[in-house]
Amino acid sequence: MRTRLIISFIVVALLAGLASAWVANLILPYFPSLGSLIRPAVISHLLGSHVPGTRRPPPGRPDPPARGTAVAFVLAAGGLLLATITGLAFAASRRVLGPVGRLAEAARRMSGGDLSVRIEPGGRDELARLVTSFNEMASDLGHKVGELQRMEAQARQFAGDVSHELRTPLTAMTAVADILHEHPDLTGDAAAAARLVRQEILHLNRLVEDLIEISRFDAGTAQLVTDDTDVATAVSGCLRARAWTGVSTDVPAGLIARLDRRRFDIIIANLVGNALRHGGPPVIMTARAEPHASGEGRLILEVRDHGPGLAETAIPHVFDRFYKADTARARSEGSGLGLAIASENAQLHGGHIEAGNHPDGGAVFTVSLPLYGDPATTGTAPQLVPAGR
């Protein structure tokens, strides 16, 4: 654009120069007195015209030396004129294109997420108005986005705070639930009621626990504490701790991955728990190491059930919080956050979980984690101040 502007400026300037010379040539014969004032000798030479009243020698063949000087003069003057025009063209194009360039740069930074960008306004032309409009838009957008972010942060903070606040009353309830439940004097309806209360308290505990876990991910405070972990041991430990006997596993012995054990346990427990609750038996779990394009190996973990599988419309949403594939279905014993938490934990490891259906039926959840994503944190605990003496 700059080149085109400069060229057009030069062309216009040259045309204007030629046109004015031509006009001058036309009208000068009628105003001889003007000729001595404005008509330089060079023009008459250039155009080969004969104008009376000039101080030049009378018409005839000009002597060669004079002609040579005139040509040099013309060339020098022409060069100077061209340089001046080009300079002016540059300045003019800068004046026009400068603000346009700054606008483009500002727009680029803005789409990159920097809403604080503003352009220095200058002048009073159309471009200046454009710059002012841009600044106003940037400022409005900044306010709106800021407002949205504040509201979102408040909502997250609120969810976290509520969960924390629920913990204290739950502590009292959890502490006494067993007393009620195990009380020998309670029989019949009273015993059934006590059992129900206890069961729901434990359910509420899980829900609050999961909400707090999710709010840690939202707040960005979830941390990874990794250790070299034997996958087979972690898997069997997870299943044993929950007394899940109906799961068949195929995990090679000696498969080691650098994982946060607690978080890895949560991933397995949520996927297997989900398969046991919503899928059909048998639930099969396999693990293997796989090479990856990044050069670093991946740990691939599959949890497959033999139920009806996931509806196509449900697949994109299974990791959404509180998502229920079948809205009519009664509340299950899970919190509704299990798969969302599993997915967040996989991402924290630098991996991901995919949901789909097996060609032979049943749902399959595939976890992919880097085998050695993070340097082991063993022995690198934060420096602690000695307590007391």
Partner 1 sequence: MTNVLLVEDDPAARQGLELALRRLGYQVRPAETGEAALDGIGQAEADVVVLDVMLPGLDGFEVCRRLRRGSDIPVIMLTARGDDFDIVGGLEAGADDYVVKPVEPRVLDARIRAVLRRQARVGSPAETHGELVIDRSSLTVTLRGREISLTPTELRLLLVLSGSARQVFSRQQLLDLVWEHDYLGDSRLVDACVQRLRAKIETDSSEPRYIQTVRGFGYRFGPV
Q: Strands, E, within 162-295: which ranges?
A: 227-230, 247-250, 256-259, 283-290
Among 5, 10, 191, 225, binds partner 1 (CB under 8 A): 225
Q: For partner 1, which stretch binds (CB under 8 A), given 7-15, 66-74, 102-110, 204-212?
A: 204-212
Torsion angle defined by CA atoms of residues 220, 221, 226 and 229, in that order, rounded to the nearest 10 degrees? -80
Q: 311-340: which residues touch partner 1 (CB under 8 A)?
A: none
Q: For partner 1, which stretch binds (CB under 8 A), given 51-59, 120-128, 220-228, 326-334?
A: 220-228
When asked if residue 389 is in the footprint of partner 1 (CB under 8 A), the reply is: yes
Return d(Cα 327, Cα 310) in angstroms, integer. Answer: 14
Looking at the Cβ atoms of 10 and 186, the one nearer to partner 1 is: 186
Q: 250-269: which residues touch partner 1 (CB under 8 A)?
A: 261-262, 265
CB of 327 to partner 1, least distance (A): 30
Looking at the Cβ atoms of 199 and 378, the one nearer to partner 1 is: 378
Looking at the Cβ atoms of 5 and 256, the one nearer to partner 1 is: 256
Instruction: At 185, list the tokens.
Output: 């004097």
Q: 358-377: which residues touch partner 1 (CB under 8 A)?
A: 376
Contact map string, positions 155 to 194, toward partner 1, x by CB under 8 A: ---------x--xxxxxxxxxx-xx---------------
Phi/psi region, residue 60 (left: phi>0; alpha: psi -120 to 50; beta: rest), is: left
Q: Strands, E, within the chain: which ranges?
A: 227-230, 247-250, 256-259, 283-290, 298-304, 352-357, 363-370
| Closest to 278 (Cα-Cα) out of 365, 366, 344 | 365
CB of 204 to partner 1, least distance (A): 9
Q: What are phi and psi of 23, to 5 degrees?
A: -60, -45
Cis peptide before 184 (omega within 30 of 0): no
- The contact set with partner 1 (CB under 8 A) reads 164, 167-176, 178-179, 205, 208, 212, 216, 221, 223, 225, 227-228, 237, 241, 261-262, 265, 376, 378-379, 381-389
